[in-house]
Amino acid sequence: MGRLFGTDGVRGVANADLTAEMALGLSVAAAHVLAEAGTFEGHRPKAIVGRDPRASGEFLEAAVVAGLASAGVDVLRVGVLPTPAVAYLTGALGADLGVMLSASHNAMPDNGVKFFARGGHKLADELEDRIEYIYDEHRRGEPWQRPTGSGVGRVRSYDEGFDQYVAHLIGVLPNRLDGLKIVLDEAHGAASRVSPEAFSRAGAEVITIGAAPDGLNINDGCGSTHLGQLKAAVVEHGAALGIAHDGDADRCLAVDHTGAEVDGDQILAVLALDMRERSALRSDTVVATVMSNLGFKLALEREGLKLVQTGVGDRYVLEEMKQHGYALGGEQSGHVIILDHATTGDGTLTGLMLAARVAATGTPLRELAAVMERLPQVLVNVPDVDRGKVGTSAELATAVAEAERELGETGRVLLRPSGTEPLVRVMVEAADIEQARAVAGRLADAVKSALG
């Protein structure tokens, strides 16, 4: 069996790749693995289960709850809440396990199962591997050990989680948002109730779009992957800014008052300066991935801040932050991690912090985001090549060295083999878009020649 767990749990087309039987089996396996690891020792185990509004989440939630309860785990069902809310409640309620059913920014037919360990942190890779092994053993006929009588898990709804999470968000804000008119695009997703409530309680005048989930419309032409509606709404209503989330609200992108996009790199730059002023940016360091725009790195250097870069994926950003105690990190896509207040990317928290900076300074978001200049970035996918030889081809190394010499200090080249397809991604940044395109074209040809 190929590895089920990706970088963000188990995902696939619901009821095809990800079935009720799989969700139930993975949940039972997770309970057994955590029991093996001593997580449940000395007390009755407890799990938090939440989901986004996808129609398939209804039956998958039932399967997960059934699996956990059949393995002797008490379950609190928190209903439709963002991924970071489930992570927060897992920690706040002293649960042994958190489970979120969501496929984030993916289209509606997909869904996923994501596990959180005690404290609301992502499960360690070795535990995920063990869950997969135990699950596979059961599929091959190995019987589960099942409790009976009073040993079975009890299930109840925990509606208080909504207010508890919103109160947490409001409680960590450095200042209120009074006087700000903000448009929120909720992607018809998991934050459709939470985010407007939090921004309103913080004092903002809120206009909401994409906040009428019907189980089928999540991420459909709205949210952080489709900013057109938000841009138009911000301009139409004369709002100070707009905030867009994805389906499970672990991402945040923004729009300034003119309708221009403010991406994850720019949000990180704004928050970094804010946190330094409040002595909250430990080691004056921000963590981001190698895909961050070169303009972001140059802006931090100009401000006397340090940038640590990791591989692509918010899990690698989080690992680096936890290992060295850094307070702020994220990705260009809008995954922003503020580790003092969240154990994962939290789109609502990020949007609130960004709006708080606008309110505190009285400075428009457009001006705040201008701390960094996004350099033109060109990405070319080169298919049908041997991606495994990217780091060993002398011909390719020569082509890259020539490109780097041409670009100098104001440009950058990144060649990255895809983790899922037989292709290589060529990314080029330069001060001029035409130069970036020309260099990217030449490097794409070099990749075909060397690895085709």
Residues that are catalytic:
104
Outline where 93-124 has alpha helix (H): none
* Residue 104 annotated as lining a ligand binding site: yes
Going by the DSSP 8-state scheme, the letter that residue 281 receives in this structure is S
Token digits for 139?
């599929």
CB 123 within 8 A of CB 104: no
The DSSP element (H or E) to which 182 belongs, if any, is: strand 181-185
Name the 3-class secondary structure at 275.
helix
What are residue 11's DSSP bridge partners?
112
Report how far apart, in Å, the C-alpha atoms of 149 and of each of 28, 71, 72 are: 18, 12, 10
Query: How far apart are alpha carbons 26 and 113 in whole angstroms?
Result: 9
Residue 248 labeled ligand binder? yes
The answer on whether 384 is annotated among ligand-binding residues is: no
- Check: CB of residue 444 under 8 Å from CB of residue 380: yes
Separation between Cα atoms, residue 23 and residue 274, nearest integer Å = 42
Token pair, residue 382, equals 């080169």
Task: Indicate if the alpha-carbon torsion angle 115, 118, 122, 123 is positive or negative.
Answer: negative
Torsion sign, CA atoms 386, 390, 392, 393:
positive
8 marked as part of a ligand binding site: no
Instruction: Tell me which residue has tokens 């709002």.
Output: 239
DSSP state of 164: H
User: Annotated binding site, which residues?
Assistant: 104, 246, 248, 250
Binding residue ranges for Mg(2+): 104, 246, 248, 250
